[in-house]
Amino acid sequence: MDEWTAQYKKRAYNTGMAAFFLSGFCAISAGVIVSLLRDRYQFNYSFSGTLVSAMSIGNVVALLISGVLPGLIGQRATTLTLTAGYFLGYLISALTGNPIFLLLAFLLAGMSKGGTASTCTVLVGSNTDDRPRALNLMNAWFALGALLCPFLISTLQGIGASMPMFCVAFAGLCLWILFCFSPLPGRAAAAGGASGRTDYSFLKNRAFWLLAMLMFCQNAAEYTVNGWLVTYYKNEQILSGAMAAYAVTVQWIFTLAARLLLAFIMKDRDPFKALAVMGAGMTVMYGVLLKVSAPLPALIALALFSFSVAGVYPMGVASIGEMLSPASVGILLAFAGVGGILFPWLVGIVADLAGLRSGMAVNLIPCVGIIALSLIIPRVGGAGGRD
């Protein structure tokens, strides 16, 4: 490898890491900002939930677009278009309380989240000799950004009602500027050849679709816990309002710890064996979550569940192997995002019919699904995380 190539790869790798840290801060800030907007403008819970859904929809749409658009206009133009959403979206939320404009704002923020995830995965995954370690480290940066956002926003609230939104918008602008100076490829390189045509041969690979199902299960399980667990703990009188606030902090601390552990300590290079172990840990700890009724065991169970699920996303994406491209990553993560939308909704439907505890039990399905798919994919072949 010549010096120029080595410098290019290092720059691309570092850009992906830094951008994903900023994305973690911007993406997780959305939940806090929705709460601030609800208090400020007296929005009902239904509209607040609609804002969260708008962000999820934007995320999935952007992931699909990021798999198609690079072959038409190039990776640079695609990335700069999609990732402007954090800045524009949070700026809009700072300037107006108009429901229509706020829906647009969170749709744009969601598109920026999806565009950043796709671009960073390709930048980091394509410029490393150890993809599982690199993607675990990249997602650890995301977790660190997520962990810092509630504390910074809480501090900024004392300065002014709109200051948290302006701060997150500024972080989004920094992310966009970072991509402006990043070594993103043009049309032909992004598409995978001089013809400018995107290679979709991975769509014929059975292992790709099984891996997409695994990622679907990961998003379903994690988003259900993120969206419902605090409500469940309060409903079951396991945690009080003050203690419930610590649940999110516990989640991200143990998520960060697990991803750093996987990045720097794990020596096993069989990703699907590791994924099966993580799935088993998720299933057991989620079962414990549904059984415990005291605050301390509840937080311990949540911590261990978060520790178990933390590595599934980066290890799953790393297992795409030689199929890695903007198109494959976009479709893989978009398919996963549907799980993050569908299962929290199913929990609510079942909860209305049979109670919240029964609704929460639905989430055992994707947990078990991760174990099963981790055992099936190696038998099919065509994916792997060692390249």
- Mean of the per-residue pLDDT values of the chain: 85
pLDDT band at 337 (very low <50, low <70, confident <90, very high): confident
Tens digits of residue pLDDT in 104-153: 999 999 999 999 998 998 889 888 888 888 988 998 999 899 888 878 88
Which structure tokens are listed for 131? Answer: 């993809």
Task: For the chain, give every domain's residue range.
Answer: 3-192, 202-380
Among 10-24, 111-125, 227-241, 317-331, the range scoring the smallest mean pLDDT is: 227-241
Among 44-58, 77-91, 295-309, 361-375, the range scoring the smallest mean pLDDT is: 44-58
pLDDT at 386 over 60: no
Q: How far apart are CA 110 and CA 173, in angstroms?
A: 15
Which structure tokens are listed for 63? Answer: 């992931």
Asked if residue 301 lies in contact with residue 181, where contact means CB atoms within 8 angstroms, the answer is no
Identify the CA nearest to 93 among candidates 189, 164, 45. Answer: 164
Tens digits of residue pLDDT in 94-107: 999 999 999 999 99
Which structure tokens are listed for 4? Answer: 């120029």
Asked if residue 136 lies in contact with residue 315, where contact means CB atoms within 8 angstroms, the answer is yes
Tens digits of residue pLDDT in 41-83: 888 767 877 887 788 889 989 988 887 888 788 888 999 999 9
Tens digits of residue pLDDT in 162-218: 899 999 999 999 999 999 988 876 554 444 444 456 677 888 889 999 999 999 999
Q: How far apart are CA 314 and CA 310, in angstroms?
A: 8
Instruction: State phi, psi for 328 to the nearest 5 degrees.
Output: -65, -40
* Residue 199 exposed, middle or buried by CB count within 10 Å (0-12, 13-18, 19+): middle
Angle at 282 between CA 281 and CA 287, to 5 degrees: 100
pTM for the structure as a whole: 0.80
Q: Give Cα 221 to chain centroid, integer Å.
A: 12
Asked if residue 214 lies in contact with residue 309, where contact means CB atoms within 8 angstroms, the answer is no
CATH topology of 3-192 equal to that of 202-380?
yes
Among 22-36, 51-65, 190-204, 239-253, the range scoring the smallest mean pLDDT is: 190-204
pLDDT at 85: 95
pLDDT at 22: 96
pLDDT at 154 over 80: no
pLDDT at 190: 45
pLDDT at 163: 92
Identify the CA nearest to 29 among candidates 161, 121, 166. Answer: 166
End-to-end CA distance of the chain: 17
Q: Compute how many other C-beta atoms are within 10 angstroms of the C-beta atom of residue 269.
A: 13
The CA dihedral of 42, 46, 52, 54, to the nearest 10 degrees, is: -110
Mean pLDDT of all residues in 300-310: 92
Identify the CA nearest to 23 among candidates 106, 77, 85. Answer: 85
Mean pLDDT of all residues in 248-262: 87
Please give the single-letter amino acid code of residue 183: P
Mean pLDDT of all residues in 297-322: 89
Residue 121 is inside which H or E element, if any? Answer: helix 99-125
- Indicate the fold that domain 3-192 takes in CATH: Growth Hormone; Chain: A; (1.20.1250)
Asked if residue 99 lies in contact with residue 106, where contact means CB atoms within 8 angstroms, the answer is no
pLDDT at 242 over 70: no
Output the CATH code of domain 202-380.
1.20.1250.20
Pick 217 or 380 by higher pLDDT: 217
Pick 253 or 242 by higher pLDDT: 253
